[in-house]
Amino acid sequence: MGLPKFVQLIDVGPRDGLQNEKQPVPAEVKIGLVHRLQQAGLTEIEVTSFVSPKWVPQMADAPAVMAGIERQSGVRYSVLVPNMKGWEGAVGCKPDEIVVFGAASELFSQKNINCSITESIERFAPVVQAALEAGVRVRGAISCAMACPYEGDVAPERVQLVARLMRQIGVQRVDVADTIGAATPRQTQAALEAALKHYAVDDISGHFHDTYGQALANTYAALEMGIWNYQSSVAGLGGCPYARGATGNVATEDLVYMLHGMGIETGINLERLVDAGQYISQTLGREPNSRAARALLNRRGVVHA
Ligand code: HMG
Ligand code: MG
């Protein structure tokens, strides 16, 4: 199969990227980041989460962030929702898409959302139904699709099971997530093949954290299978509070550099994307965690090695 000619990216930096940030990040900064991402040409942005502020304090300002965004037409704004309480908080903020988030590993499900996989599906079902009735799209994240910080390697059959359960309750598309960024390309392909048993290739996205530096290789392996939707995080921000030591998603800048170099279109302006990454990195007091961004900034003479 030839590689896709176009890749659709969802920048998850404002959500996955910032959720684990220890220092308080004001809502205005999060809003400023979303604005810069849309100016750079991102047409899908995962903005925030409607989760318990006791579990993830950094996302407690979700309504303020959603309210402060000047929406651009053609951009889809998504938010994480784990249960009905989350949906009740989210619906008034008019997200274009919600993300219910489950896991292929039992222990990760317990640690992350405090319930078993079966219970999580029971909680998601009414949320999915309410969202679809309200005309809001529904995506489902399958965490620990290849490896789990508590259980080790995860069998593809587990991914297939969760994909089937998500399909049954009406989830429209799924993210196959390497939460701890430990997978290698063949493992990634096996997890994606498992998801493909229940979802079309157009309805599966790759969500690869880059802890072990495998995310670009895993993306290439997924491209070979025709997968053309990916999630990435500007400036490589992030990590999951319930997967200690896991670093951020692959940096959007690195992914865009690779894709454009391969002649694959994204609709994203790489220089503007670097500006967005520079904005949030400077605010957080660090350099962008993106090799491509640092190289491009070096060329501009902003960062000196
Ligand atoms: P729980 O404690 O089992 O919930 O948490 P509960 O229903 O028993 O309620 C306990 C308290 O939480 C109550 O408040 C509820 O009102 C409140 P109290 O009466 O004690 O004052 N509560 C809520 N508050 C606000 N929003 C809500 C909500 N629900 C209950 N939605 C819960 C269950 C799921 C809420 C909790 O475990 C939680 O919030 N977990 C957060 C998990 C999270 O955000 N993880 C990071 C995102 S997932 C991720 O990063 C992975 C991903 O990137 C893919 C990948 O890389 O793998 C997507
Ligand atoms: Mg993640």
Q: For residue range 60-77, what is the model confidence (pLDDT) as tens digits?
A: 999 999 999 999 999 999
Residue 157: domain span: 8-300
Is position 1 within any domain? Answer: no
Is position 294 within any domain? Answer: yes
Alpha helix stretches (DSSP H) within 20-140: 27-39, 62-68, 84-91, 106-113, 117-133
Q: For residue range 189-235, what is the model confidence (pLDDT) as tens digits?
A: 999 999 999 999 999 999 999 999 999 999 999 999 999 999 999 99
Measured from the Cβ of residue 70, the count of other Cβ atoms closer than 10 Å reads: 8
Which residues, judged by CB distance below 6 Å to any ligand atom, belong to the binding site of ligand 1? 16, 19, 49-52, 55-56, 80, 82-83, 85-86, 89, 101, 112-114, 141, 143, 177, 179, 207, 209, 240-242
Q: For 108-141, give the DSSP string.
A: HHHHHHSS-HHHHHHHHHHHHHHHHHTT-EEEEE
- CA of 103 from ligand 1 middle (Å) equals 14
Provide the number of structural domains found in the chain: 1
Is position 2 within any domain? Answer: no
Is position 104 within any domain? Answer: yes
* Mean pLDDT confidence for 15-22: 94
Supply the pLDDT for residue 36.
98
- CA of 112 from ligand 1 middle (Å) equals 8
Active site residues per annotation: 240
Q: How many CA atoms lie within 13 A of 46 on its CB side?
A: 32
Assigned token pair, 182: 């430990």
Q: For residue range 209-218, what is the model confidence (pLDDT) as tens digits?
A: 999 999 999 9
Q: How confident is the model at residue 118 (pLDDT cuts 50, 70, 90)?
A: very high
Supply the pLDDT for residue 305.
46
Q: For residue range 76-100, what is the model confidence (pLDDT) as tens digits?
A: 999 999 999 999 999 999 999 999 9
Supply the pLDDT for residue 244.
77
Domain with 149 in it: what CATH number? Answer: 3.20.20.70
- CA of 299 from ligand 2 middle (Å) equals 30
Q: For residue range 245-304, what is the model confidence (pLDDT) as tens digits?
A: 778 999 999 999 999 999 999 999 999 999 999 999 999 999 999 999 999 999 998 655
Those residues whose beta carbon sits under 5 angstroms from the ion ligand 2 are 16
Q: How confident is the model at residue 241 (pLDDT cuts 50, 70, 90)?
A: low
